[in-house]
Amino acid sequence: MTGTLPAPATTDLADLTATELLAAFAAGTATPSQAVEACLARVAATDEVHNAVLLLLADRARAAAAESDARWAAGTARPLEGVPYGLKDIVATAGITTTGGSSLFSDFVPTEDAALAARLADAGGVLLAKLSTFEFACGGAVNRTFGPTRNPWDPQRTTGGSSSGSGAALALGQVPLAIGTDTGGSIRIPAAFCGLTGIKATHGRVPRHGVMGLSWTMDHAGPMARSVADCALMLDVIAGPDPRDPTTLPLEAEPFTAALGRDVTGMRVARPRGFLEGGMHPAVAAAHEAALAELAATGVEIVDVELPTFDLAAVASWWIIYAEMLSLHEAHADRIEDRDEMGASLLGAAPFVSAADYLRALRLRPRFQRELADAMAGCDALVTPAMTSLPPLIAPQMVSDLGDHEVPWLEAACRTSVPFNLTGSPAMVLPSGLVEGMPVSLQLVGRPRDEASLFALGAAYQAATDHHMRRPPVLAR
Amino acid sequence: MSADPTVVVPALLTAAGLAPSAEEVAVMIAEYPARAQAIEALWAVEAARYEEPCVVFRAEP
């Protein structure tokens, strides 16, 4: 260990959020090197069972942390100086293997960092590990090359995905920050299943240059963390225009962290009770009602709205993903037998979408955007359950238990998430309780480019509740 | 082309250069009618024919 100051006697630095670590570094009660050692110790203690880490970068992280120690001592610390983080292994890292979670890329070493990876490093973050992912961000929970990632709350259950390693690593305290990607819910599903906070920001908010593509009009990259404040901190670093990604948005006038602590009294939140609250496990539905009561208790007014055709939004979303996925994967479509079973099944469904069907789905996108905008008129955000069921048991073909029947797990998992990939809306998931010992969550959806309202509402909810503070039983000491 | 899933599904897979296992093809054949029905629902929204198909899109409608 290279730190010169003792860690607080009763606090394991691996349990702190990024915001808390930065405060400790600033106060001189901990150093980045100590934080990195704590995270490495947590990886050593937990990863054999949970399999969140694909590639541990211990030596590299120790060297970066030593530089951060020096910057804090010299008064030249950057926004994430010394904070350990992990990257989903579809994010390119120069000189470091980037597998995409696939045997087809098991030896692939990029020569250039993804835009967001470079921004995290430039902000002083310490890359600790490349993290597990469903194959190419679209496979199943049982990655046949690298094995399944197991949910920290119950290792028999999936973390969800495709940002499976990001979800498990954060819940286990292996890192306080991680990057996920989200084409149909892949930030929000593992965040919900693992009791975390995650945000898929507005389409174009985070540059995707260097992130392996799955579906170019549906893909998003973004922060996963253990608090709303940490997501805002990370999004401030990775957001912003990039000439290599023509969809990127300009910076906002204020950083997202400025929205934290804003008074939410009188803000209005729209509640669509139709498709987005349909097909829920009864216990999850009851927990959702309790969470809405907690949200209302922060001073927010919740009003009922209608989204009458959003059942079609989910269909259109999948048709776009199928078509764009087959196009992006055309170079190795003939090696489908080397793919994980579920990824192969999804890819196998792609030829059933004709060019006309794909364009029809694209033509529907602006109609769903307007339907959502109309429903949110006069409101600051929209609220839905993040998930309609508990995390499924790990299996090659998983199913979700809805109480009186089971459905294929993606049908349940993406029901409330994928429509907002289609609209490009910002959407944040935050923990809202436990059902049968497993996390359940709320989803807050904002207007395009209005992540600030989500951060204000989410921070107010987390200031009033302690759901995000709960840790999996495996960490009980 | 025939509407028979046992004809359509193998033909489309072949055209796309995909060769999944016989078991997977059997599942796809079984699921094909529901997929076709879902696609039909998209075509039922008549006004969508006048929208721009935004291949590069922005979140602002």
Residue of B6, B7, B18, B49 to mutate for A, most A C-beta atoms under 10 A: B18
| Shortest Cα–Cα distance, A295 to chain B (Å) | 27
Q: Does B26 touch chain A (CB under 8 A)?
A: no
Q: Once rounded to an integer, what is the mean pLDDT over residues A86-98?
A: 98
A150-151 and A154-158 as β-strands: parallel, antiparallel, unpaired? antiparallel
pLDDT of A343 strictly over 70: no
pLDDT of A328 strictly over 80: yes
Q: Once rounded to an integer, what is the mean pLDDT over residues B26-51?
A: 86
* Count of the separate structural domains present in chain B: 1
> CB-hemisphere CA count at 13 Å for A81?
21
Instruction: Kindly list the residues of chain A whose beta carbon comes within 8 Å of any beta carbon in chain B.
Output: 202-204, 216-217, 246-247, 309, 312, 315-316, 319, 326, 333-334, 336-337, 341, 344-345, 347-353, 357, 359-367, 369-370, 373, 423-425, 448-449
* Count of the separate structural domains present in chain A: 1
Verify whether the Cβ–Cβ distance B59 to A204 is below 8 Å. yes
User: Closest-CA residue in chain B for A364?
Assistant: B48
Question: What's the mean pLDDT when you consider all of chain A?
Answer: 93
- Give me the percent of chain A exceeding a pLDDT of 90: 85
Confirm whether B60 is domain-assigned. Answer: no
Query: What is the reported pTM?
Result: 0.92
Which of A344, A353, A360 is opposite residue B48, by nearest beta carbon? A360
- Residue type present at position A337: E
Q: Does B56 touch chain A (CB under 8 A)?
A: yes
Between residues A3 and A357, the one the model is more confident about: A357
Give the model's pLDDT for residue A104: 87
Confirm whether A8 is domain-assigned. Answer: no
Sheet holding A438-445: strands in order across? Answer: A53-56, A126-131, A84-88, A177-182, A220-225, A197-200, A427-435, A438-445, A381-385, A268-272, A301-305
Q: What is the CATH number of the domain that holds A347?
A: 3.90.1300.10
Give the model's pLDDT for residue A233: 98
pLDDT of A345 strictly over 80: no
Verify whether the Cβ–Cβ distance A363 to B49 is below 8 Å. yes
Interface predicted TM-score (ipTM)? 0.73
Give the model's pLDDT for residue B31: 85
**Rg of the Cα trace of chain A?**
21
Q: Which residues of A touch B31 (CB under 8 A)?
A: 349
| Shortest Cα–Cα distance, A226 to chain B (Å) | 27
pLDDT per residue as tens digits for the range A102-137: 988 999 999 999 999 999 999 999 999 999 999 889
Confirm whether B53 is domain-assigned. Answer: no
pLDDT of A427 strictly over 80: yes
Q: Once rounded to an integer, what is the mean pLDDT over residues A75-99?
A: 98
| Shortest Cα–Cα distance, A332 to chain B (Å) | 10
Q: Does B43 touch chain A (CB under 8 A)?
A: yes
Confirm whether B25 is domain-assigned. Answer: yes
Give the model's pLDDT for residue B24: 80
Confidence bin at A466 (pLDDT 50/70/90): very high
Distance (Å, rounded) from C-alpha A380 to C-alpha A10? 41
Q: For the ranges A26-35, A425-434, B47-56, which has the lowest average pLDDT?
A: B47-56
Residue of A332, A347, A352 to mutate for B, most B C-beta atoms under 10 A: A352
Give the model's pLDDT for residue A71: 98
Confirm whether A7 is domain-assigned. Answer: no
Q: Return the closest-CA partner of residue A18 out of A79, A70, A89.
A: A79
Q: Once rounded to an integer, what is the mean pLDDT over residues A410-427?
A: 96
Confirm whether A441 is domain-assigned. Answer: yes
Neighbour tally for A131: CB within 10 Å? 32
Residue A125, helix vs strand vs coil: coil
Which of B9, B42, B58 is opposite residue A361, by nearest beta carbon? B42
Distance (Å, rounded) from C-alpha A300 to C-alpha A267? 5
Confirm whether A248 is domain-assigned. Answer: yes
Confirm whether B21 is domain-assigned. Answer: yes
Domain interval for residue A362? 13-475
* List of long-range contacts for B47-53, beta carbons under 8 Å, 24+ apart: B47/A367, B48/A360, B48/A363, B48/A364, B48/A367, B49/A363, B51/A363, B51/A364, B51/A365, B51/A366, B51/A367, B52/A363, B52/A366, B53/A359, B53/A362, B53/A363
Verify whether the Cβ–Cβ distance A362 to B55 is below 8 Å. yes
pLDDT of A348 strictly over 70: no
φ, ψ dihedrals at A270, nearest 5° = -85, 140
Distance (Å, rounded) from C-alpha A451 to C-alpha A465? 21
Domain interval for residue B16? 5-48
Distance (Å, rounded) from C-alpha A417 to C-alpha A421? 7
pLDDT of A469 strictly over 60: yes
Confidence bin at A2 (pLDDT 50/70/90): very low
- Positions of A marked catalytic: 88, 162, 186
Q: Once rounded to an integer, what is the mean pLDDT over residues A228-249?
A: 97
Give the model's pLDDT for residue A325: 86
User: Closest-CA residue in chain A for B9?
Assistant: A352
- Give me the percent of chain B exceeding a pLDDT of 90: 3
A399-401 and A150-151 as β-strands: parallel, antiparallel, unpaired? unpaired
- Angle among Cα A324, A326, A328 to the nearest 5 degrees reads 65
Q: What is the DSSP letter of A152?
A: T
Confirm whether B30 is domain-assigned. Answer: yes
**Cβ–Cβ < 8 Å for A226, A196:** yes
Confidence bin at A4 (pLDDT 50/70/90): very low
| Shortest Cα–Cα distance, B32 to chain A (Å) | 8
H helices of A174-278, in order, are 188-194, 228-238
- Angle among Cα A320, A346, A353 to the nearest 5 degrees reads 40
pLDDT of A351 strictly over 80: no
Confirm whether A6 is domain-assigned. Answer: no
Which tokens hold the place of A31?
A: 């150093």
pLDDT per residue as tens digits for the range A7-43: 444 589 999 999 999 999 999 999 999 999 999 999 9
pLDDT of A155 strictly over 90: yes
